[in-house]
Structure 1
Amino acid sequence: MKLLRTLVASALLAAPAFALAHEAHTPRAAQAALPPEQQAWGIAGEPGAVRRTIDIAMTDDMRFTPSVIEVREGETVRLRLRNRGKELHELVLGTRATIDEHAEQMKKHPTMEHDDPWMAHVKAGQTGELVWHFNRPGDFDFACLVDDHYELGMAGRVHVRPAR
């Protein structure tokens, strides 16, 4: 019994550290009740504010087409993602550092589920989307972190030009 209490206490003490190291991901259904959270690369956009849709194809040759997109600071865009392959793909927006960090976490926890507004999973042959408000100028990245897709080159760049 003492061993069981020790194990339970250890697990409870480790849980907050694991959650912090693992990043908390809030399911999209629960996000609707939360205000959007500002990220270095922008903030979740409102569908009614979209003025442009950018189509991005995802393929099993581990490529995004186009792999570079350009937007203007303050623009809200719909990224329409078409998975033209037979494998699951995703698009995760971020900085190079956040994507690299998330990729490492995915290697340690390959079954980790997440559904943040800056990422979209798209099953084979399906279409998905995300709406993003690019409210900061700069160069940002996107990648597919499924399995080893990122390491195989499935990445791209968003160039956000300053507002006029």
Structure 2
Amino acid sequence: MQFSNRTTVCAVLASLLAVTGAAHAHGDETHAKKAAPAKKEQKAWGIAGDAKAVVRTIEVKMTDRMRFTPDRIEVREGETVRLVHKNAGRIMHEFVLGTKKELDEHAALMKKFPGMEHDEPYMAHVGPNKTGEVIWTFNRAGEYDFACLIPGHYEAGMVGKITVVDTKVASK
């Protein structure tokens, strides 16, 4: 059986498209979860939490109106919280914890490299009508931020604040 050059070229192109078609990190598909445990790296806003240490769950809704509900959350210093993110929209959203400075820097990178892949324990990428979660231990008092850093979403105001109350000050 002989194949024409045209048939061969079409077959090669179809194969390439099949292999590379899923390479966009922030399309409408969710990121596959890695089997490895979360990296326990201390950040200014806390450290990855252990599911067995969760003391409460907070549901955060994400919408295509580029808003989080609630957009203000208060936790106590030392509290391990399960943040459950429900995407009520039709497009991909994400939840990224951090300082304003770090979120600004990450948002700028996302504009330059919109297909960049990343999966940190303080991030959740949530497809349309899907649910994601972050388990986080807020071990440092202060005010921190969260945002959707998909290009255009952050600029549209898809942001929020987390206040971590100092337990020494709160108990006085």
Q: Is the alpha carbon distance of 1:95 and 1:31 closer, same or farther for their aligned partners in structure 2, counting shifts above 3 Å?
A: farther
For the pair 1:48 / 2:52, whether they are aligned, the reply is: yes
Q: Is the alpha carbon distance of 1:35 and 1:64 closer, same or farther for their aligned partners in structure 2, counting shifts above 3 Å?
A: closer
SS of the residue corresponding to residue 111 of structure 2 reads: helix
> CA offset at residue 135 of structure 1?
0.2
> CA offset at residue 146 of structure 1?
1.1
> CA offset at residue 30 of structure 1?
6.7
Hey, what does 1:134 align to over in structure 2?
Answer: 138
Could you say what the CA RMSD is over the residues aligned between the two structures, in angstroms? 1.4
Q: 1:38 aligns with which of 31, 35, 42?
A: 42
Alpha-carbon displacement from aligned partner over 1:95-122 (angstroms, at most 9, x marks no partner): 0000000000101100001000000000
Distance 1:54 1:39 in 2: 21
> CA offset at residue 54 of structure 1?
0.3
Query: Conserved in 2, the CA contact under 8 Å of 1:57 and 1:83?
Result: yes
* Contiguous gaps of at least 5 residues in structure 2: 1-31
Distance 1:40 1:120 in 2: 18
Hey, what does 1:106 align to over in structure 2?
Answer: 110
Distance 2:33 2:41 in 1: 13
Hey, what does 2:158 align to over in structure 1?
Answer: 154
Hey, what does 1:10 align to over in structure 2?
Answer: none
User: TM-score, with normalisation over the residues of structure 1?
Assistant: 0.80
The structure with the larger Rg is 2
For the pair 1:57 / 2:61, whether they are aligned, the reply is: yes
Percent identity, aligned pairs only? 57
* Contiguous gaps of at least 5 residues in structure 1: 1-26
Query: Counterparts in 2 of 1:15-30, with a 5 A limit?
Result: 29=34
> CA offset at residue 84 of structure 1?
0.3
> CA offset at residue 29 of structure 1?
2.8
For the pair 1:88 / 2:87, whether they are aligned, the reply is: no
Relative to its length, the structure with more helix (as a share) is 1
